[in-house]
Amino acid sequence: MSATAVSKRSSPRQVNGILLLDKPEGLSSNQALQVVRRAFNAAKAGHTGNLDVAASGLLPLCLGEATKVCGFLLDSNKRYHAEIQLGQTSTTGDREGEITTTGPTIERSTAEIEHALHGFRGTISQVPPMYSALKRGGQPLYKLARQGIEVEREARQLNIHELRLVHHTGSRLGLDISCSKGTYIRSLAISLGEVLGCGAYLAGLRRVQAGPFELINAHSCELFATRKYRPEDYDELLLPVDAALKEVPRVNLNECDATHLRLGQAVLLRDELPGPGVVRVYSSEQIFLGMGTLDVNGVLAPKRLMSTTAQRKVDNFA
């Protein structure tokens, strides 16, 4: 990618693909999305779930036809590195809020902390915090919270796949957390403080994995904020749309069936097939066509097909 001055803005581009962004602290997910969208001059873009303003890390962004797979990334597992401050609580559950209480000064031993963490592994029940983007009556909960309004929230069943103590220095903990969608790490920090009897809040959060994507492959927001490249020069940074679907079963079609599916028609498949459910579909020429739903009888119906311009030959026919 070579540096070239950006000329007068043209009409929005039909650009398709997934961009892995390293969102910095201080930007909302939507603000980060708009920075990237302007850099690409993209006609359509969406993010894959809110990452708090105070948090940083991996934010997969979907451009053009890739917005059709946003839901798969929204539902995917996430991994975080979290910093927890013991001995204090916060009005918001993180460092952005007012420090409200200071707990006992007695430090908790590593053994005590490990014992407390054990209770948060596996399937747990968690009440979403008031300071969250969840909506009630069309209003985000955090806006109600800022008005001093608290509403009842239903507990959710979540899965904490891994919860590992990375470091423990005085009253500061570092945790590595792999969890299911909808997990609020600030709520976990608050609950951990309650179990330890000293209070706690989330002092820092960085997302390092979302579904099949890892932070190590993400690009800095500054690269797009400077906009020193032409919009098309950024295209080489995009991943193909089906990169988000690696864990979704694959179905390969012959030329005839691919033609029918492209026309929105269901087709009957007779080859060895995965079980019923959502599948990613490819032509005999290794072109990603989109997603379909397969029933128990082998009937494949179109679900979310890619436009002709977004259909591309894949490098690995796997």
Handedness of CA 32, 34, 39, 40 (dihedral sign): positive
Q: In terms of DSSP bridges, do strands 250-252 and 277-282 run parallel, antiparallel, or are they unpaired?
A: parallel
Residues in CB range of 271: below 8 A, 6 or more apart: none
Helical axes 110-118 vs 185-196, angle rounded to 10°: 120
Give the residue among 96, 97, 100 at the shortest CA–CA distance from 54: 96
3-state secondary structure of 186: helix
3-state secondary structure of 310: helix
Instruction: Give the CA radius of gyration of the chain.
Output: 23
**C-alpha torsion 4→8→12→16, nearest 10:** 0
Which residues are the active-site residues?
52
Contact yes or no for 289/262 (Cβ under 8 A): yes
The residue type found at 306 is: M
Contact yes or no for 86/200 (Cβ under 8 A): yes
Q: What is the largest CA-CA distance in the chain?
A: 72
